[in-house]
Amino acid sequence: MKGIVFVKFNEFIEELWGIEFWDELLDDADLSSDGVYTTVGTYDDQELFSLITLIVEKKNISPKDAQFAFGKWVFKELYNIAPPGAHDFKDIFEFLHAVQNVIHVEVKKLNPDALLPEFEFLSETQNKLSFHYLSPRKLCFFCEGLVHGLAEHTGQEVKVYQSECEHEGDKRCVIVVEKV
């Protein structure tokens, strides 16, 4: 996983619970990187999952809630560093299409080894969009949080849920976004 995710996760944790809690997580996690991250580095995915697991245990929250909260928080951070063209979309559905067709394409040009999720759009009406979230990392709850962060950014109210979820025993994750 690219270091930018870890750097932003560090910032998220420090903002929410303080630097002491971040240091406690690093001490308890015993990570191969020792929690020293750079935005351009690449780190083992398991480090993020280990940190999330510790947060779940220490703060008594669900993995879903932890991933969701980080996704919602980090949207604005990623938006601020998004490649050219990413800021041209004001509608939530247009932006979600742009993630797949513009943003991830540009990210791959800069970081060919980046393992990015893919969106396979399944259906779309004026007020409802569904897409298959494909990622070996299975961070669908993080993706839901990103969509909520996007909705806040665009000023659109949405309902986001999964009609199918691998964590619930389904064969895939299908995220549904409804404008309300």
Give the pLDDT score at 87: 79
Three-state DSSP class for residue 139: coil
Ranges of the chain whose pLDDT falls below 70: none
Q: What is the pTM for the complete model shown? A: 0.91
Give the pLDDT score at 177: 98
Alpha carbons 156 and 150: distance in angstroms, whole number: 9
Give the pLDDT score at 2: 87
Residues 6+ apart with CB under 8 A from 1: 42, 43, 44, 45, 47, 48, 115, 137
Give the pLDDT score at 114: 81
Give the pLDDT score at 109: 85
